[in-house]
Structure formats: C-alpha cells, structure tokens
Amino acid sequence: MVDIFEKISKSRGPLGMYAKVAHGYFTFPKLEGDISNKMIFRGKERLIWSLNNYLGLANHPEVRKADADAAAEYGFALPMGARMMSGNSNPHEQLEKELSDFMSKEDTILLNFGYQGMVSAIDSLVDRHDVIVYDSEAHACIIDGLRLHIGKRFVYPHNDITNLEKQLERATKLVADTNGGILVITEGVFGMSGDMGKLKEVVALKNKFNFRLFVDDAHGFGTMGKTGAGTGEEQGVQDGIDIYFGTFAKSMALIGAFISSNEQIVEFLRYNMRSQIFAKALPMPLVIGAIKRLELLRTQPSLKDKLWEITNALQSGLKNAGFEIGNTQSPVTPVYLNGTIPEATNLILDLRENYDIFCSMVVYPVVPKGVIMLRLIPTAVHTLENVNYTINSFKDVQKNLKAGKYASDKIVTSLL
C-alpha cells in the first residue's frame, strides 16, 4: 500500500515535473493590461500571439459596456441554482433562441463550461449498448467524455476517412448484437494543427452507415463559414451535423458554451445532462455579455474579414519565408521547428526577452520528439506590421536554432 501524498510527491505528472523551473514564465505566465495585440508580461509590453480572442471582442467597447452594465444591474449571483430548479431566466432562453437561429438548428442548450459540457453531453447521449467512433486527435474534453462511456469506443487515425469507414463497419456489426447506436465524434477545427475535420466526407458516410455526428467546433464557431456559423457552414454540411458544440471561450472571448441540435435532443440534454442539472446556471452578466457578442459576431462581418486578412498574411508570409506550418486551414497557425525541449525553452526565452514576442510553445509528448511547435493565434486586433515583425523575428530565431545558439541543458542566461 502507498500513501497517496507520497506517491504524488514522487510523480508530479508530465507537466508538473517542470513546475519548479517553469512556473510563472513558461507555465502560468501573467498577461496583464487590456486584452489586445500587445499586453504586459513581466512589466514589459509584448506582442501577444497566444490568445483565442479571434474576433477581437474581448476589449470591444460595446462588449465592455454590455458586460459592465449587466454586472451593475444583476451582479454575479443571479440566477441562483441550476436552470432546472431555480436558475432559469429570460436572457438564458433568449440567448439559446438566438444561437439556434444563427446555427440553423431547432434548439440550443447553454453550458457553463465547454469542457465540462462536452464531457457531460457524451455521458448522457450514449449508454453501454452504444459505440462511439472518434478522431485520434480529439480534444481532452472528448477523451474525458469517452472515459465515462461504458460501452465500446473505436478510434480512427486523424482525419483518415478510409479507416473511419472500417471502424464504422466494426461498430455496425457490434451494435447489431447490442441493439445500440453509433455516435461519431470529431472536431470542426483541430486546435493544435489548425486543420479542419473532414466533415463533408464524414457526413457522406451517412449514405452507407447509420450513425449520428457530434462535432466540437470550439475553434470554428465565429471564424469559419460565410456567416461565422462554423465549420459545418464552411463545408456546406451544417444539416449533416446532428449535434453541434461551440464554446464562448474563443471567438466570443467569454466563458460558457452551447450545444445546438434538434428539439428532442436538446430537451433530452436539458433533462439529463448532469453537468447542467447539478450545477449553478451561467451568471446573468455572462449571458447578457454573450448576447452582445453574438450580435457583433453576426452583424459585423468586418471583424472576421480582418481576422482572415491577418491570418492569410501571417500564414503566407511564414510559408514564403520557408517555415513549415503544416496543413492549417483555419486561423490556428502552428510553426514547426526541429530541436530539443531545452532548445525550445531557450528559443522561447529569446523571443520573449529580446524580441518581445509572446507565443505558446508545444513540445513532446504533444508533438513528436525533436519537434518544437510554436503556436500563433492571429486575431482581428493584430496589424500587418505585427505580422511582418514576427516573421522577421522568427527568421532570426530559426537561424540561431540552426546555429546551435540555444543548445544547452540550462537556460541560456546570456539571452536574458
């Protein structure tokens, strides 16, 4: 027998093992000041490329006013209790109605957090007779939802439609015995690599197989499609998505999320989703803030146009400069370099301290050993000057990386 605390003291977890050296700089950094293209990090202004503030709504004057007015009028206590018991309100229902109209779905349920909502939705939609088939690069909230599923689950390699077909064949055989159903879960835009889920191809498989499609479009809502209604709209298959998930945490720069589907499914979720039944409703200022953001998202297409102007300039500029950015089809912009984890750390340090550029770094085990991924998130509040400056700075650090300037097991203090 072991003591739980002793076990934890020996095994700190894949990221926790770096906590002592990384905390406050590489992990848990504090970005201060108004949310914009430039913010303060450790007392100095830096160019920020790591916030999912796609449309620049976080600090939009109309948004700030709506948030402040709603907080002054209602406070954060209202409504009290879960929606089902005592926490329902007209603004909650208004927001659900407006989201349904925007998403061209019959009904919508608000979720307090995207992550929890996704986990709980998966938990409530399937039982032990059902099979879930999912993409191998699915977000943690999908993976954690699967952990609650006591029936079978089959994974297909990322966006591999031929393999998905095989998994659907297996699943179809299995549910013939269990008398269950099949739920396919994938994403609209994959948040690390930026490529889209092949929704069109997945939907086409409905001609051959009997399944329902659940799409997590956290990064696609507000950024993809003609009106911003997401990746289903972008690929012309909105109707083929049976259950659509979007979060407020990215394009809307808020907290909360939603699921849109047909009336019966949403009613089922309202009465069966444990994360909503057993938790307090979204506070009123968040709901009213979301109504304002949705209005801007719908009525100001220039925000999405600007996001894409910056995205296209950044991605084509990086490619023209010889950088490897993978297969992104969305604003998410990964830049792949080769190097060790200490090299990645020193490179980030150089970028932050000497170029005043703040971006996220992703290393093994999220990407293969020897790969350093810098992840840039363009927004509508960036400028073309920001883009050019960043590409030139990236050229410098790539040169340094290749010249071995960052090669050391320790932080290269000369960079500080």
Ligand X SMILES: Cc1ncc(COP(=O)(O)O)c(C=O)c1O
12: which residues sit within 8 A by CB, 6+ positions away?
19
By CB atoms closer than 10 A (0-12, 13-18, 19+), residue 47 is: buried
- The tokens for 1 are 């027998």
Rule CB under 6 A: is residue 102 a binding residue for ligand X?
A: no
132, 151 contact by CB (below 8 A) = yes
**Radius of gyration of the chain measured on its C-alpha atoms:** 22
Cα–Cα dist 192/374, whole Å: 10
Rounded to the nearest whole angstrom, what is the least distance from the CB of residue 247 to ligand X in the complex? 4
Question: Residue number with the shortest CB distance to ligand X?
Answer: 114
CB of 314 to ligand X, least distance (A): 20
Q: How far is the CB of 230 from ligand X (least distance, A)?
A: 12
Q: Which is nearer to ligand X, 257 or 415 (CB)?
A: 257
Which CB, 92 or 139, lies closer to ligand X? Answer: 139
Among positions 19, 22, 249, 411, the unique one binding ligand X when judged by CB under 6 A: 249
Q: Is 192 in the site for ligand X (CB under 6 A)?
A: no
Cβ closer to ligand X: 51 or 164? 51
Task: Indicate the residue among 87 and 191 with the shorter CB distance to ligand X.
Answer: 191
At its nearest, how many Å lie between ligand X and the CB of residue 99? Answer: 14
Least distance CB 5 / ligand X (angstroms)? 29
| Strand arrangement, sheet containing 371-376 | 333-338, 371-376, 360-362
In 242-301 the beta strands, taken as DSSP E runs, fall at: 243-247, 257-261
Binding mask 106-145 for ligand X (x = CB under 6 A): -------xxx--x--------------------x-x----
Q: Which SS3 state, helix, strand or coil, does residue 165 take? A: helix
How many other C-beta atoms lie within 10 A of the C-beta of residue 298?
15
Q: How far apart are CA 117 and CA 121, in angstroms?
A: 6
Please state the closest distance from residue 232 (CB atom) to ligand X, in A.
15
Decide whether 250 or 382 has the Cβ nearer to ligand X: 250
The identity of residue 367, as a single letter, is: V
CB contact at 8 A, 289 and 60: no
Least distance (Å) between residue 141 CB and ligand X:
5
d(CA 295, CA 277): 28
Smaller CB separation from ligand X, 191 or 339? 191
CB 409 within 8 A of CB 344: no
Residue 55, token pair as written in the block: 């449309």
Contact track, ligand X, 143-182, x by CB under 6 A:
----------------------------------------
384-402 and 341-354 helices cross at what angle (nearest 10)?
Answer: 140
Bridging pattern class, strands 371-376 and 360-362: antiparallel
Q: Which long-range contacts does 67-70 make (Cβ < 8 Å, 24+ apart)?
A: 67/285, 67/288, 67/289, 67/292, 69/288, 70/284, 70/285, 70/288, 70/289
At a CB cut-off of 8 Å and minimum separation 6, what does 9 contact? Answer: none
Between residue 204 and residue 223, which ones bind ligand X under the rule CB under 6 A? Answer: 216, 218
Closest CB to ligand X among residues 107, 187: 187
When the beta carbons of 193 and 400 are compared against ligand X, the nearer one is 193
Query: At closest approach, how far in Å is the CB of 269 from ligand X?
Result: 16
Using CB under 6 A, count the residues that bind ligand X: 13
Query: Is 377 among the residues that bind ligand X (CB under 6 A)?
Result: no
Complex with ligand X: residue 191 or 232, whichever CB lies closer: 191
List 55, 257, 318, 412, residue binding ligand X (CB under 6 A): 257
CB 178, min distance to ligand X, A:
28
Q: Which residue, 247 or 261, has its beta carbon nearer to ligand X? A: 247
What is the smallest separation between the CB atom of 79 and ligand X, expressed in angstroms? 20
User: What residues make contact with ligand X under the rule CB under 6 A?
Assistant: 113-115, 118, 139, 141, 187, 191, 216, 218, 247, 249, 257
